[in-house]
Chain A
Amino acid sequence: MTALSHAITQGSLTSGRLPKFATPVAAVAGAILGFALAVIFGGGNLGLAVLLAYLIFLVAMEIAARVIEGPRQAADRRARHLIVGAFLLALLPLASVIFEVLSKGMARFDIGFFTQSMRNVVGKGGGAVHAIYGTLYVTGMATLISVPIGLLTAIYLAEYGIRNRLSKAITFFVDVMTGVPSIVAGLFAYALMGLLVGPGTRSGFSGSIALSVLMIPVVVRSSEELLRLVPNELREAAYALGVPKWLTIVKVVLPTAISGLVSGVILAIARVIGETAPLLIAAGFTASLNNNLFANPMMTLPVFVFDSYAHPGTDVQAYWDRAWAGALTLILIVMLLNLIGRLIARRFAPKTR
């Protein structure tokens, strides 16, 4: 009762707040206690120390908030601390991955890596230029195949076949397609090209087909969502001016959604550019540069990375250095694509001001 009357006289919105410095103080105290406990009982295990520190901090704040601020505020604080905790926890593996790639990839991230192939190279030296081109060719072709098919399908789903049976079937099977295991896509492309061209055909184009099977559903899914977000008023305005439906889509709907469409495509490229298993089967393996997408095996970066890791010669370190440098290059290519995509989107997006 006294607490309530106190709250009423003081004004409930301002009363009973933990001071602002409570959070950092509790965090520091939790850290010290957690580390001390870890040293005493856990043999100084860093992971254990951080976990203990976090738990102590959570419990301390919970008790303090419950006593001073009441259960609702305590729940709010608990949620916030858990969410921030989840965020920090997730940063841990992600930062570790990036640190690992950067620190180990820099050893061979030099001019030679970007100007030489592995033709006639054994042991040290050499580069991945054949794999970089291969990846650009194969992924570029896959994009050329997937984007028109995916985008047109998305247009059909969002604009034409609203809730009819065909569109329901397509939506369902596109979802199924997102789950086609990547290696199956590779085997499929290999078998298909074997039938069409000749047994055992391996080329960059086969790789593109395998990647397209994986890429199309991602393009459809993201594009469809974005087309649906375009306000109906825009379409209606165009119809009112006598513009036919297809021109409305091309001139009004697509430009409105272009920024999201582009980032959807980039995400789809990012999803497939790192695929290893299908390319190993469909595009094959070579140490030389191949500029012809339609004949002979073509090397790609993921295959290069995997092979350098899995089949090193006697000079293991040289191969591993190249593997990490290849991984770093792959990530940088995706970053670059992302950047280009954003620029394109900005260039074509309708001016809103």
Chain B
Amino acid sequence: MTAKLSSTPVGSAAAQPKPGPDPKRPGEAVFRGLATGAGILILVILALVASFLLIQGGPALFADPAKLATQGYGEFVSWVLPFAFGTVWAALLALLIAVPVAIGIALFISHYAPRKLAQPLGYLIDLLAAVPSVVFGLWGSVVLAPAMLPLFTTLNSSLGFIPLFAGQVSGTGRTILTVAVVLATMILPIITSLCREVFLQAPRLHEEAALALGATRWEMIKMAVLPFARPGMIAAVMLGLGRALGETMAVTMVLSGSRNITLELLTSQNPNTIAATIAQNFAEAFGLKTSQLIAAGLVLFLITLAVNSIARWIVARRAQYSGAN
């Protein structure tokens, strides 16, 4: 009903059912045009980015494999596949670490911490989203990698029969597991701050009703907060995933990357990521090699596109079942 009321402003002509562009009010048309134009401009920018990737990467995509073998890095698909795997694998590991912790922190700030503590904590977490990736890279290679080394050796000697922990342990600790921890630390603030916002918006009445019925705090969260927050949480996770997939500098500085597909977490032979491969090799790349790296960028772009489509699909499905809104 309210929607209907709003669409017929008092005072405007009754014949006009919707507040569209009014000839007597040029401001309206201009403003609406500006807003629409901005939206279209974004589509244009993205189209430009995509066509840039296609034009510059095209020569490598459509080149003769024999030519690629001599002047490029080798046949395109078999070259890019390990990196594509590494990108997804590192991001997935980072999510596995970050998501439970981030949700824990968000719940702590929204529902457990004393109110006086909650706001500064939220501010602190927001601030950490601003630590530049170079710093995380420095920290990862100087501090974290050596610190992880004893843990890696222990894991390898006691749980080495699990394929994940098998293989020859890296002598420096600069493995994909370390990278996953660094990435997790980087995306933690992003996921946390979005989740916290969503948790805080959970309907108060539902929460109080649950508590009044004798639910413990955890039961209240399970019944009233989490179902409401689920779409928002998925959006937060996807935002973090996007950041993890595209992260360049931190991975470049920490990972001992190579070109192979393996699930082993503790060795020197880790699959490199696409973004790091581009950043590492772009400096020395020349001619067809440059094209090949940009084509790899296109692959990363497509991976992101796919991930986002999946996320949208999940959110849309979930939205139908959740009772929120």
Binding site for B on A (CB under 8 A): 42, 45, 47-48, 72-73, 75-76, 78-80, 82-87, 89-90, 93-94, 96-97, 100-101, 148-153, 155-157, 159-161, 166-167, 169-170, 172-185, 187-188, 191-192, 213, 216-217, 220-221, 232-233, 235-236, 239-240, 242, 244-247, 249-250, 263, 267, 270-271, 273-277, 281, 301-302, 305-306, 309, 323-324, 327, 330-331, 334-335, 338
Contact = CB atoms under 8 A, between A and B. Distances in A.
Interface in B131-164: 131-136, 138-139, 142-144, 147, 150-151, 154
B43 A188 contact: no
B127 A184 contact: no
A87 B129 contact: no
A247 to B, nearest CB: 7
Contacts of A176: 46, 301, 304-305, 308
Contacts of A305: 132, 134-135
B23 to A, nearest CB: 12
B1 to A, nearest CB: 11
A273 B130 contact: yes
A279 to B, nearest CB: 11
Interface string B259-282: 000000000000000110011001
Nearest to B309: A172
A182 B278 CA distance: 11
B25 to A, nearest CB: 5
Given A93-B181, A180-B301, A273-B130, A242 B218 contact: no
A152 B132 CA distance: 28
11 contacts: A80-B217, A149-B38, A153-B38, A160-B32, A175-B312, A239-B6, A247-B27, A275-B133, A302-B132, A302-B134, A309-B138
Contacts, number: 279
Nearest to A99: B143
B104 interface: yes
Contacts of B28: 244-246
Interface residues of B, number: 96
B136 to A, nearest CB: 7
A269 B299 CA distance: 27
A183 B38 contact: no
A323 B35 CA distance: 42
A100 B182 CA distance: 15
Q: When A and B form their complex, which 9 residue pairs have the shortest distance between CB atoms, in order from nearest? A: A274-B132, A86-B104, A179-B304, A152-B38, A270-B130, A246-B31, A76-B216, A239-B9, A181-B246
B49 A330 contact: no
B42 A220 contact: yes
B300 A72 contact: no
A48 B216 CA distance: 32
Interface in B196-216: 216
A225 to B, nearest CB: 8
Given A73-B216, A76-B219, A90 B43 contact: no
Interface stretch (B63-71, B78-86, B105-113, B168-176): B105-113
A351 B198 CA distance: 25
Given A90-B188, A160-B36, A182 B104 contact: no
Given A90-B101, A149-B42, A327-B132, 7 more contacts: A75-B218, A181-B297, A182-B246, A187-B294, A192-B52, A216-B45, A244-B25
Contacts of A172: 308-309, 312
A85 B9 contact: no
A73 B217 CA distance: 9
Contacts of A323: 138
Contact of A334 (B42, B130, B275): B130
A78 B131 CA distance: 32
B134 A249 contact: no
Nearest to B181: A93
B248 interface: yes
A183 B248 contact: yes
A166 B132 contact: no
Contact of A175 (B133, B278, B294, B308): B308
Contacts of B77: none
Contacts of A149: 38, 41-42
B27 A246 contact: yes
Interface string B222-248: 000000000000000011001001101
Contact of B185 (A93, A169, A277): A93
A86 B246 contact: no
Nearest to A168: B312
Given A184-B297, A232-B2, A276-B134, A244 B22 contact: yes
B31 A249 contact: yes
B258 interface: no
B112 A157 contact: no
Contacts of A309: 134, 138
Given A182-B248, A239-B9, A80 B218 contact: yes
Given A183-B279, A240-B10, A274-B130, A87 B105 contact: yes
A253 B65 CA distance: 57
Interface in B4-55: 5-6, 9-12, 19, 22, 25, 27-28, 30-32, 34-43, 45-46, 48-49, 52-53
